[in-house]
Structure 1
Amino acid sequence: MTTPAVSLILATVGRTDELDRMFDSLAAQTFGDFEVIVVDQNQDERLRPHLERARQRGLAIRHLKQSQPNLAAARNTGIAAASGKWVGFPDDDCWYAPDLLQRVVDRFLRQDEPSGVVVRWVEQDEQPMVAGNLSWERSSAFRDIPVSSITLFCSRTVCTRIDGFDSRLGVGQWFGAGEETDFVLRALRTGAVFTYDPAAEVHHAVSSETPEATPQVRQAVRCRARGTGALYAKHHLPLWVIARGLIAPVLRPLLKGSFGADLALGCAVMRGRLDGLLGWHRRQS
């Protein structure tokens, strides 16, 4: 069996039909030297027909089971099983432009040989990064990050060097996000070079509407914001970065004269970041 150039680590729980769209986009790739490692966190066999359909379309699928839902830990399971020189981390409900993997591999093979490639998330309508490469100085000030996992490709050696993702952070954890940004920050500290390629595109639907500030939504927002607060403490970020991160979510809606859902959600973000900052010190001391 030949070793693939790229290993795509897809951690999933709960979703089924969305996987078919992702697999269809992979079957349409102009670059075909890749494997898909599906880390299945479901307690049943709901993925079986979807995985069989993907195999019938010619995809090299490896199916791993993990009983305890933890997105970061699932990705680490996939990294340990990966054999490709480079790895990517698609969500189970995203999809790739047909030339994405070809563009990513071509970028890795250029003379500067970056450690990682960050691609463009089309639906996010993001502003291009100011610099071609991420730097610790800008990233630690949250200028060019957070970087979503669906836009991130890196060498497998970087993943193993930094021991993958921190499973204390992310979906399903008390610190409900931040594992992707933490991954990049730790990699940059080891000297890894991540470059941005806006011509390589990934898709993931987003909602442009401000959600209703129900108690459940505010709690979910607060949980995710704890991850950012944890990063403040874990990476000993400057006081001005922390202060800006705590004040800005509330100040922005106030300056716009928005006193409804925007302000309520901004308060939830501020409280969550403060939770995470203090919680990291308490839990890790």
Structure 2
Amino acid sequence: MRTPEISLILATVGRTDELARLFESLAAQTFSNFEVIVVDQNDDDRLLPHLDRARYLGVAVRHLRHRPANLAAARNVGIEAARGRWIGFPDDDCWYSPRLLEHVAARYGAGDKPAGIIVRWVEQNEQPLSPADLSWERSRAFRDVPVSSITLFCERKLFKDIGGFDARLGVGQWFGAGEETDFVMRALRAGALFTYEPLGEVHHAVNPQKPVATPTTKLAVRHRARGTGALYAKHQLPLWVILRGLAAPLLRPVLKGTFGAELALGYATMRGRIDGLLGWRRTHQS
């Protein structure tokens, strides 16, 4: 069996049917030299029929188990097991355009030899249509190309050089998001070249409905926002960046004249960022 060029780390818990769309999109890739490492955080065998279906479609799948559920830690387990030179991180409810891996392979084969490639999340509609390199200066001001784990491909060597994802951040943790942003910021500070490749396209459905400020929703928003607050403290971002980040969730709805659910969720975001900022300083700094 040939060594894969790309390893895709799929950390999953709870979902089953959504995997069918992802595996079908992987089977349709024009670039075939890749493996999928499924890091299963379930406590049952619900994934097995879906993994069998993926293998039937011709996808090279390896199955690992990891408990307790922790997205960042599960991805680190997958990274340790990966054999590919490059590593990507699809979500269990995303799917790839047919030429995505082909474009990633072409880009990392270019002369500038990037250590990381960011592809375009089609539905997000916040990323430019032209290529660009990322920089620490823009990223520390949160003014760079938006990065989500589904858009991120990194050279495996980079994880050995700077470490994997910070398991204190992300889904399943008190600081409920930010692990991929933290990793990219650490890489840029270390001098790694990260570049944006808009020809590579990944899909992930977004909810087009207006926000509803239920107690559960506000709690979830606050929980995720703690990850951003943790980044403020962990990377010692400038005061003006922190103040802007705390004010913006409230100012946006006020300036638009939307004082209902959007303002309530903006307030939850601000409170979560303060939680994360103070919580990180209290628990992770001497």
Q: What is the aligned residue count?
A: 285
The sequence identity of aligned pairs, in percent, is 70
SS of the residue 1:237 aligns to = coil
1:81-230 map, 5 Å: 81-128=81-128, 132-230=132-230
TM-score (norm 2): 0.98
Query: In structure 2, how many angstroms separate the alpha carbons of the residues matched to 1:3 and 1:25?
Result: 21
User: Could you say if the C-alpha distance between residues 191 and 112 of structure 1 is closer, same or farther in structure 2, counting changes exceeding 3 Å?
Assistant: same
Q: Which residue of 2 aligns with 1:39?
A: 39
Instruction: List runs of 5+ in structure 1 lacking aligned partners.
Output: none
Contact residue 30 and residue 102 of structure 1 kept, 8 A: yes
Q: CA deviation at 1:85?
A: 0.3
Q: CA deviation at 1:190?
A: 1.1
User: Could you say if the C-alpha distance between residues 32 and 148 of structure 1 is closer, same or farther in structure 2, counting changes exceeding 3 Å?
Assistant: same
Contact residue 146 and residue 180 of structure 1 kept, 8 A: no
Query: In structure 1, how many angstroms separate the alpha carbons of the residues matched to 2:265 and 2:284?
Result: 28
Query: In structure 2, how many angstroms separate the alpha carbons of the residues matched to 1:280 and 1:14?
Result: 29
Letter in 1 for 2:200: A
Instruction: List runs of 5+ in structure 2 lacking aligned partners.
Output: none
Contact residue 145 and residue 196 of structure 2 kept, 8 A: no
Q: CA deviation at 1:126?
A: 1.6
User: Could you say if the C-alpha distance between residues 246 and 131 of structure 1 is closer, same or farther in structure 2, counting changes exceeding 3 Å?
Assistant: farther
Question: Structure 1 runs of 4+ off > 4 angstroms?
Answer: none
Q: CA deviation at 1:209?
A: 2.3
Q: Which residue of 1 aligns with 2:18?
A: 18
1:72-93 Cα distance to aligned partner (Å, 9 max, x none): 0000000000010000000000
1:172-204 Cα distance to aligned partner (Å, 9 max, x none): 100000001001000111111111111110000
Q: Which residue of 1 aligns with 2:72?
A: 72
SS of the residue 1:123 aligns to = coil
Q: Which residue of 2 aligns with 1:7?
A: 7
User: Could you say if the C-alpha distance between residues 129 and 135 of structure 1 is closer, same or farther in structure 2, counting changes exceeding 3 Å?
Assistant: farther
Query: In structure 2, how many angstroms separate the alpha carbons of the residues matched to 1:238 and 1:78?
Result: 34
Query: In structure 1, how many angstroms separate the alpha carbons of the residues matched to 2:164 and 2:188?
Result: 13
Q: RMSD in angstroms over aligned alpha carbons?
A: 1.1
Q: CA deviation at 1:146?
A: 4.2
User: Could you say if the C-alpha distance between residues 12 and 203 of structure 1 is closer, same or farther in structure 2, counting changes exceeding 3 Å?
Assistant: same
SS of the residue 2:277 aligns to = helix
Q: CA deviation at 1:162?
A: 1.5
Query: In structure 2, how many angstroms separate the alpha carbons of the residues matched to 1:227 and 1:124?
Result: 20
User: Could you say if the C-alpha distance between residues 198 and 131 of structure 1 is closer, same or farther in structure 2, counting changes exceeding 3 Å?
Assistant: closer
Q: CA deviation at 1:127?
A: 3.6
SS of the residue 1:16 aligns to = coil
Contact residue 39 and residue 66 of structure 2 kept, 8 A: yes
1:22-55 Cα distance to aligned partner (Å, 9 max, x none): 0000000000000000000000000000000101
1:193-225 Cα distance to aligned partner (Å, 9 max, x none): 111111110000001223210010000000000
